Amino acid sequence: MEFPFDVDVLLPERITVLDQHLRPPARRPGTTTPARVDLQQQIMTIVDELGKASAKAQHLPAPITSASRMQSNRHVMYVLKDTSARPAGKGAIIGFLKVGYKKLFVLDDREAHNEVEPLCILDFYIHESLQRHGHGQELFQYMLQKERVEPHQLAIDRPSQKLLKFLNKHYNLETTVPQVNNFVIFEGFFAHQHRPPAPSLRATRHTGAAVIDPAPSAPVRKLPPKRAEGDIKPYSSSDREFLKVAMEPPWPLNRAPRRATPPVHPPPRSSSLGNSPERGPLRPFVPEQELLRSLRLCPPHSTARLLLSTDPGGSPTQRRRTR
């Protein structure tokens, strides 16, 4: 992915870590330094363009990664540069990985709710022309080392099929623990729950300050088992939640079907009931028959009468007999 400015000079390292400040990294000695504000603008352009490309690749209606969303969240973005592209022009970007700590309520294998704050994979994209060349793994591996976290300690926000395959191939992550939110966690998640750094550590984690993270303990906090789901959702909200607003049709079309419909391409040997590893509409549209049923509940409505008169279930007499 190329830009009208010199990416190679802007991002001297192969992998650049960006936090909410979107600060341009220190430049190599000897390079001329444009105004800092221009450099930050260039960083913001890169983040915005990567976010758009990722959304397109995942068929999302809007980017979940942008400069403004980075600035208003404590997320961290790992940006991978193409070091071989230098002779051809102004350098290029291969892709990015965005992570962040999130408070979640997750179910363990006994279906008890646990309040945790794991590191979450929020967005991940490698340019189409460079996928399956090992770049994704290079970026992921770098992130694991920097964040000092094991793959099974991560929570993944609505992983795509490609990402599920990626995790399976490189990290042997296969068996999921069924959840009721959009996050996917894998077997082993509860074995050694990673402890999020204290706020002061978070602030300095990526600024190069030498702060030693204390040894992780296992702070998976158990909650009373029968907590109402309404209490749980706000904490476990996916970063993709805001997309629902744009995509959701009005009532009664927004009613989720009572039975979970199997995904078109189920995740490989996954048991993630209630998860939504599939991309595409966040809530499927209700089938026509279910719509008719819900309209029958309010017979005085003229639309209901009109629709019922064309119900393929039979003539009005037959319907009356059935009732």
**Options 137, 174, 263, 304; binder of ligand ACO; rule CB under 6 A:** 137
Contact call for residue 101 and ligand ACO (CB under 6 A): no
Of the candidate spans 6-14, 73-81, 155-163, 314-322, the one that interacts with ligand ACO by CB under 6 A turns out to be: 155-163
In this structure, the dihedral spanned by the alpha carbons of residues 266, 77, 187 and 284, taken in order and rounded to 10 degrees, is -30
Contact call for residue 19 and ligand ACO (CB under 6 A): no
**Options 63, 91, 100, 159; binder of ligand ACO; rule CB under 6 A:** 159
Decide: residue 161, CB within 10 A, 0-12 exposed, 13-18 middle, 19+ buried: middle
Contact call for residue 169 and ligand ACO (CB under 6 A): yes
Q: Tell me the C-alpha distance between 153 and 119, whole Å.
A: 8
Taking CA atoms, 63 is separated from 16, 49, 104, 174, in Å, by: 21, 9, 22, 28
Size of the site for ligand ACO (CB under 6 A): 24
Contact call for residue 24 and ligand ACO (CB under 6 A): no
Q: Could you tell me the strand order of the sheet in which 113-116 lies?
A: 104-107, 113-116, 221-222
- Range 52-71, binding ligand ACO (CB under 6 A): 57-58
> Percentage helix, strand, coil, to 5, in the chain?
35, 15, 50
Contact call for residue 125 and ligand ACO (CB under 6 A): yes
Which residues have C-beta within 8 Å of that of residue 315, sequence separation ≥ 6? none
Contact call for residue 136 and ligand ACO (CB under 6 A): yes
Which one-letter amino acid corresponds to residue 95? G
- Candidates 270, 224, 275, 229; CA nearest to 112 is 224
Residue 169 or residue 221: which is nearer to ligand ACO going by CB? Answer: 169
Annotated binding site for acetyl-CoA: 124-137, 160-169
Of the candidate spans 38-46, 134-142, 256-264, 292-300, the one that interacts with ligand ACO by CB under 6 A turns out to be: 134-142
**Options 40, 45, 131, 294; binder of ligand ACO; rule CB under 6 A:** 131
Contact call for residue 226 and ligand ACO (CB under 6 A): no
* Chain mean position to CA 45: 21
Residue 7 or residue 156: which is nearer to ligand ACO going by CB? Answer: 156
Binding site for ligand ACO (CB under 6 A): 57-58, 121, 123-126, 131-137, 156-160, 162-163, 165-166, 169
